[in-house]
Amino acid sequence: MVRRTWFAFAAALLALSGCGGAPQTAGGSAPAQSVLAPRPAAKPAAPPAQPLVATEALSTRAPSGSLVAILAPLTGANAERGAALVAAAKLALAPPGSPMLEVFDTASTAEGANAAASQAIAAGAAMLIGPLTAAETAAAAGPATAAGVPMLAFTNDTAQAKPGVWTLGLTPAQQVRRLVGALAAQGKTRISAVLAQDAFGQAMSTALTEALAEAALPPPVIRFHGGTIQSANATMREVSDYGSRRGPLDAQIKAARALGTPEGRKRAAELVKQPVPPPPMDALLLSDFGDTLHTLASLLPYYDIDPPAVRVIGPAQWSNPLVAGETELKAAWYAAPDPALRGEFATRYEAANGASPPGLADYAYDAASIARALVLRGEGFSMAALCRPEGFAGVNGIVGLQPDGRVRRGLAIFEIQRGGATLIDASPDTLAAPGI
């Protein structure tokens, strides 16, 4: 069973437009051989996609023009999170040869983030790490882009992404793209969705539509529910096309019984045992968690939406052990960072700070490590250097910065089984892998 600290994970994912979606924060299983597609027999000893763990410092002093500034909420509502972000960045830049790090307080507000970015740029910062929330990112992006200073923000709101501003948070698009790639590898290309009528559901809808178009697969059938039992039931019935699947069989049973003969009754008994034809889809995406997910999960067997004919897929929040205990979700998939990958970072962080790192700290460590890697290689913080095709090996797997500000991540695939979730497809170690 894959174990995680659910509270830290969920706290950063609930507000889509706030902080970045955080990766898992503790525990994990050993890497598993993929059951979805062939994987290389062994990794190269030093693959080009792993600059974040580089140790080949060119000198013991960072070159001039490599000042890195972290914009973090040291005061205000998110001060505790801000302290963890700064601690993680300092940990990444502790080795010799790292660029100098200066800290600027955003005060947990958009106005504070704008002022912090301006102050950092005036101090000579060549790269900005942070800020934390979408609102702060939008405010800090103005000074950063005007000065041509790249910014690696921690939000998962891709609306803030633009050339020169990258959003490092875990996004619905990253999760859905990975799931679509895994499904396509098994020949499952007809994907439907029953989603909540909220911001997260809309984001999952957009992600699914774009992922299927990018993979040149048929467009999805997407329906939204209003959160009530009645709405969930009606939406699931519609998407599964249950009336058309069940109707002809019910008509035959009724006609056989209407004969009133032994042969008719025998025929009706035989028809009752016949399975209902499968739904018109290979996979079904759900966006809910909590009580509404329990309702939707209970409807799956009622409408004969069963694996392996239909694979149910969902968001990384399903790593919650309570979700993994849903018997109706057995064999369902979700894409998320593999918590086993962050073990070394978590150990180092706890040794330095006396506490386990919250999930958001991973992004600060990755951002600072990217800065360090580029300085060690003498590449500077140009667009070409940041968007290197090989990507970067982050705490939670490979990370690729795209020229438009979006970020690609190599997520693992987990399957909900009896007793918990199991890793069935390890995180890809190359950006060329399907679904990244």
Give the DSSP per-residue string, 126-146.
Answer: SEEE--SSHHHHHHHHHHHHH
User: What pLDDT tens digit does each residue of the chain (436 aa) get?
Assistant: 443 333 333 334 443 356 655 554 333 333 333 334 333 333 333 334 444 433 333 333 345 468 999 999 999 999 999 999 999 999 999 999 999 999 999 999 999 999 999 999 999 999 999 999 999 999 999 999 999 999 999 999 999 999 999 999 999 999 999 999 999 999 999 999 999 999 999 999 999 999 999 999 999 999 999 999 999 999 999 999 998 888 787 888 888 898 899 998 888 898 888 788 889 999 999 999 888 999 999 999 999 998 889 999 999 999 887 776 667 899 999 999 999 999 999 999 999 999 999 999 999 999 999 999 999 988 889 999 999 999 999 999 999 999 999 999 999 999 998 878 999 999 998 999 888 8
What pLDDT is stored for residue 38 in this prediction? 33
Contact between 361 and 87 under an 8 Å Cβ cutoff? The reply is yes
What pLDDT is stored for residue 65 in this prediction? 60
What pLDDT is stored for residue 290 in this prediction? 86
- pLDDT, tens digit (0-9, with 9 covering 90-100), for 71-117: 999 999 999 999 999 999 999 999 999 999 999 999 999 999 999 99
Contact between 233 and 223 under an 8 Å Cβ cutoff? The reply is no
Nearest-angstrom CA–CA distance, 306 and 278: 8
- pLDDT, tens digit (0-9, with 9 covering 90-100), for 300-350: 999 999 888 999 999 999 988 777 666 789 999 999 999 999 999 999 999
Nearest-angstrom CA–CA distance, 195 and 188: 20
What pLDDT is stored for residue 134 in this prediction? 97
What pLDDT is stored for residue 189 in this prediction? 96
The residues, any chain, with a CB within 8 Å of residue 388's CB and separated by 6 or more, are none
Nearest-angstrom CA–CA distance, 215 and 190: 12
Angle between helices 291-302 and 229-240 (to 10 degrees): 40
What pLDDT is stored for residue 21 in this prediction? 58
Q: How many residues does the chain have?
A: 436
For 8, phi then psi, to 5°, come to: -65, -35
Nearest-angstrom CA–CA distance, 2 and 393: 22
Burial of 330 (C-beta count, 10 Å sphere; 0-12/13-18/19+): middle
Nearest-angstrom CA–CA distance, 183 and 207: 15
Nearest-angstrom CA–CA distance, 291 and 408: 31
Contact between 156 and 174 under an 8 Å Cβ cutoff? The reply is no
Domains of the chain: 6-170+339-405 (3.40.50.2300), 178-223+281-334+412-436 (3.40.50.2300)
Structure tokens at 318: 């399903």
Strands 151-153, 165-167: pairing kind: parallel
What pLDDT is stored for residue 321 in this prediction? 76
